[in-house]
Amino acid sequence: MNLPRLTNTLTRQVEPLAPLAPPKVGLYTCGPTVYARVHIGNLRTFLAYDLVARTLRARGADVVHVMNVTDVDDRTLDEARRRGVPLREVTDRHLAEFLADLDALRVVRPAVMPRATEHIPDMVALVRSLEARGHTYEADGSVYFRIATLPGYGKLSRLPTSGLKAGARVSHDHYSKEEARDFVLWKAWTPDDGDVAWDAPFGRGRPGWHLECSAMSRHYLGETLDVHMGGVDLVFPHHENEIAQSEGATGKPFVRHFVHTGFVNLEAVKMSKSLGNVRTLDAVRTLGLAPEDFRYWALSVRYRDPIVFSEEGLVAAARARADLVALRKRLREATGEGTGPGTSAAAAARSRLDEALDDDLNVSAALAALHELKTEMNRLLGRGELARADADAAEAAFAHADGIFGCFAVPGEEATPADVSALVLERETARKRRDFAASDRIRKDLAARGWAVEDTPAGPKVRRAGR
């Protein structure tokens, strides 16, 4: 299995992914805090997660993607108080909106999206093991992590080890901490929390934000994660503190590959709910553009580089995407016999695309290969020189690219849902591994969802069963 190379924030190097038990890849991603509609900065990060998961699947990996949903923290509680409604009402609403945005963007839903409030016992158990290993202290009913007990603290962010700023999300707990850089694991109940509290051996309260990711990733993926992703703003303190909690509790490496995504900025400023300069997916629709246009725009810049949001940029992306989709449709006009130069052009484009993605997801080079293929195909079609077999080869290259980029479906035709495309890809890679039991299992799974897959010389074709 040839997995792509990605920048590992732990080493600051571009390294091949090296999962512990291939072909399985455990992917844990930091999901949304559901106190408002997600903005397009968040969505860019979620699209980068999806691109990584789809690229790994196209390489034969059996990806288990787990994304947490933060449904209890200062921000969600503040919002519920501000609106005068129960916490659950706020979080249910924004979680539903979030899922609708993911579906509109053809994001393959993660296998599990655990809510923090459903895993409190895991979090309590984690605090207990940290207590047992001498990493904690209590003050005023809250439990803190004592950073001085963990010599490797700071290895991810590489910030100076003393005088670190206190975690931005632990606002009203400064007084009791012994050191500014210590962080809260469990927050004692305060009247502001209302009825949101859980009983724990160390007192009634609620978990700190960092604790949820350490506890839930361990619950679903074990003590060591193959890949952990999040936005670059999470490197410190969130991911640094996750490492402290997880490694403090197990003594084992928490993450093999840490991958961080760049910001969407509005002019030079980070787009963020707290700055009030946010745009949602509705801003894209207001421009008369499709969610897939935003998808193309967001994926056309390498995941770790910042992008500046602009209407011109979105419109240019929509145009580039439309050109690719139009060519894909036009390929059906080819009637020539035999094979011509188109077949080798398609094969070359496909391998350039794969090589570019292997190189730390170099999407510019990958998309350039597709656009060059498009130009060549249009040229051959214009001269009436495109053989049917060449067109099929080009179509197979576009279908492969669509499995990864997820925005080259021809409109008007029922687009294959993202989860179905993912299964088709998974089955294809199982077949390549000659794992026919797995490929059969996936075929049955597809049939149960109402889809039939047929293997053709140009690759698998999927259609609605019974049509």
Give the whole-angstrom CA distance, residue 228 versus residue 30.
8
Applying CB under 5 A, does 30 fall inside the site for Zn ion? yes
Residue 213 interface partner, choices ligand AMP, Zn ion, none, CB cut-off 5-8 Å depending on type? Zn ion
Residue 263 interface partner, choices ligand AMP, Zn ion, none, CB cut-off 5-8 Å depending on type? ligand AMP
Q: Amino acid identity, residue 252?
A: K
By CB under 6 A, name the binding residues for ligand AMP.
30, 32-33, 41-42, 44-45, 70, 230-231, 233-234, 261, 263-264, 270-272
User: With respect to Zn ion, which residue has the nearer C-beta, 30 or 80?
Assistant: 30
User: With respect to ligand AMP, which residue has the nearer C-beta, 231 or 237?
Assistant: 231
Could you tell me which of 81, 79, 100 has the C-alpha nearest to residue 33?
Answer: 79
Whether residue 411 has a cis bond before it, omega within 30° of 0: no
Please report how the helices 74-83 and 87-104 are oriented relative to each other, as an axis angle in degrees rounded to 10.
Answer: 110
Residue nearest to ligand AMP (CB): 231
Strand pairing partners for 10?
none
User: What is the closest distance, in whole angstroms, from the C-beta atom of residue 207 to Zn ion in the complex?
Assistant: 12
Could you tell me which of 251, 241, 224, 244 has the C-alpha nearest to residue 150?
Answer: 244
Give the whole-angstrom CA distance, residue 222 versus residue 218.
4
Binding mask 198-237 for Zn ion (x = CB under 5 A): ---------------x------------------------
Residue 117 interface partner, choices ligand AMP, Zn ion, none, CB cut-off 5-8 Å depending on type? none
Strand pairing partners for 455?
460
Cβ density class 260-290: b for 16+ within 10 Å, e for less: bbbbbbbeeebbbbeeebbbbbebbeeeebb
Residue 237 interface partner, choices Zn ion, ligand AMP, none, CB cut-off 5-8 Å depending on type? none
User: With respect to ligand AMP, which residue has the nearer C-beta, 245 or 429?
Assistant: 245
Stretch binding Zn ion (CB under 5 A), from 30-38, 102-110, 310-318, 432-440: 30-38
Could you tell me which of 429, 425, 387, 388 has the C-alpha nearest to residue 403?
Answer: 425
User: What is the closest distance, in whole angstroms, from the C-beta atom of residue 172 to ligand AMP in the complex?
Assistant: 19
User: What is the closest distance, in whole angstroms, from the C-beta atom of residue 119 to Zn ion in the complex?
Assistant: 13
User: What is the closest distance, in whole angstroms, from the C-beta atom of residue 213 to ligand AMP in the complex?
Assistant: 10
- Residues lying near Zn ion in the complex (CB under 5 A) are found at 30, 213
